[in-house]
Amino acid sequence: MKLIVESNYDMVSKKAAEIVDEYVKSNPKIILGLATGSTPIGMYKELINKHKTEGTDYSNVRTFNLDEYVGLSGEHPSSYRYFMNEEFFNGININHKNTTVPNGKAENLSEYCKNYDEMIDDAGGIDLQILGVGENGHIAFIEPAHELQVLTSIVTLSESTIAVNSRFFNNIDEVPKTAISMGVRSILKAKKIILLATGEKKKSVVKRLIETPLLCTDFPVSILLCHPDFTLIVDREAYVD
């Protein structure tokens, strides 16, 4: 694992955007794996700035997102499709047909999940995967459990994730109880992985990840320790020397 410690959230966003932007410039047909949540918002802003000021070209870039709530259409303001359009895709020259966020309204969800992994494989696999981490150690919606899903699947969200994510909804009862989430396989197959963790609330997760090189299913983010090209970017608030 490569660790990068930046002074604050803005510097983490800048650093992550620098890395992603360079990768896009050096491989205009790159396949990006993308995350939603609060953490990558600053990075997306920086990437949009770079697109506008330096002309970074996304016309041939393809993207796959990690997850989506079951039952929410892309028009729902709390859906991850809506988030991605608002926070990133609408600000760059990406062809929206080249962006894939799992379809939370798919008729046959299990068939859809199976196809999702195939879609990623058929595209050639993810070159660069961006991740955030939950306060309970989840990545995507792979929640702490006795077993972790290998393939893209329908998952039941933990009580703690529902509570944390309720900030994106009018009230906690509106938060869907299930989601489509990429599994361990497609994430670990990415050629390069960057995990962003910022703020006091991520301190214990970052500490455990750095200090405990163990693969634990009650701490899904630990699977990243098995990846040969894994970079963790944190700010001072999330990091203890």
Residue numbers annotated as active site: 67, 136, 138, 143
Q: Of the candidates 20, 17, 43, which has an alpha carbon nearest to the alpha carbon of residue 31?
A: 20
Q: Are 142 and 181 in contact (CB under 8 A)?
A: yes
By CB under 6 A, residue 223 contacts ligand F6R: no
Site string for ligand F6R, 120-149 (x = CB under 6 A): ------------xxx---xxx---------
Q: Of the candidates 134, 216, 135, 228, which has an alpha carbon nearest to the alpha carbon of residue 181?
A: 134
* Strands lying side by side in the sheet with 230-235: 2-6, 230-235, 192-197, 128-131, 31-34, 62-65, 99-100
Helix (H) or strand (E) holding 197: strand 192-197
Site string for ligand F6R, 76-95 (x = CB under 6 A): --------------------
Interface with ligand F6R (CB under 6 A), residue total 13
Report the residue number, 19 or 139, with the smaller CB distance to ligand F6R: 139
Shortest separation between residue 222's beta carbon and ligand F6R, angstroms: 14
In angstroms, the Cα distances linking 26 to 62, 75, 105, 128, 150 are 14, 33, 36, 12, 31
Shortest separation between residue 59's beta carbon and ligand F6R, angstroms: 24
Q: Which of 8, 27, 38, 156 touches ligand F6R (CB under 6 A)?
A: 38
Contact residues: ligand F6R, CB under 6 A: 35-39, 66-67, 132-134, 138-140
